[in-house]
């Protein structure tokens, strides 16, 4: 992804389970790449329901700079029930909030109207723009979506 960002001069935010070798655990994470390469990682602070059975809680908010201003990231439930995350970002000058999620909630996103911030939410199920996932199972990986339809298969 970093090479794609460098090649095209764009930003990519994508989610995946992240293995943290130093703690021997998994996090529900969002990775960020940009024109300069790898920018950083946000680890979901508030895992929801069954997520608590497979991932650890993250502990640090994550913002990154763009030509358009600072961008903050939350993942799914972080944004629906915990407005303090967005408030923190706003206090640090955030201009855009990204919320990668599996399911779109029909709620006011973490007080985005109150905070006067634009929120971009990409749901894997609700938007064809972002309905593909890179999955790896056993010995193959590919892009699939919820229908299920395999777009590409990698050997």
pLDDT tens figures, 126-154: 333 333 334 334 444 444 444 444 444 44
Q: Is the pLDDT of residue 122 over 70?
A: no
For residue range 91-117, list pLDDT tens digits in order: 999 988 888 887 655 445 445 444 444
Say which DSSP state 10 is in.
Answer: -
Entry field: residues in the chain? 155
Q: DSSP E strands: which ranges in the chain?
A: 12-20, 25-34, 37-43, 62-64, 71-73, 96-101, 118-123, 133-137, 140-144, 150-154
- How big is the CA angle at 77 (ends 101 and 27), to the nearest 5 degrees? 75
Specify the pLDDT at position 46.
95
Domains of the chain: residue spans and CATH: 2-123 (3.60.110.10)
> Is pTM beyond 0.75 here?
no
Q: Record the tokens describing residue 40, joined without a space.
A: 């950083």
**Alpha-carbon distance 86 to 82, whole Å?**
8
What whole-number distance in Å separates Cα of residue 152 and Cα of residue 155?
10
Asked if pLDDT for residue 69 goes beyond 70, the answer is yes
- The residues with which 142 forms a beta bridge, in sequence order, are 135, 153
Model confidence at 81, pLDDT cuts 50, 70, 90, reads confident
Cβ partners under 8 Å of residue 113, min gap 6? none
């Amino acid at each position: 992804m970093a090479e794609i960002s460098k090649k095209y001069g764009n930003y990519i935010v994508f989610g995946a389970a992240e293995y943290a070798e130093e703690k021997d655990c998994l996090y529900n994470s969002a990775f960020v790449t940009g024109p300069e390469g790898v920018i950083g990682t946000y680890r979901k602070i508030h895992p929801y329901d069954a997520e608590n059975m497979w991932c650890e809680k993250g502990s640090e908010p994550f913002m990154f700079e763009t030509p358009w201003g600072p961008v903050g990231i939350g993942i799914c439930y972080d944004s629906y029930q915990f407005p303090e995350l967005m408030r923190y970002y706003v206090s640090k000058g955030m201009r855009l909030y990204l919320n990668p999620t599996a399911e779109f909630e029909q709620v006011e996103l973490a007080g985005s109207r109150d905070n006067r911030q634009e929120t971009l939410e990409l749901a894997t199920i609700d938007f064809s723009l972002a309905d593909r996932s890179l999955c790896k199972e056993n010995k193959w990986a590919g892009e699939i979506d919820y229908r299920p339809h395999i777009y590409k298969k990698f050997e």
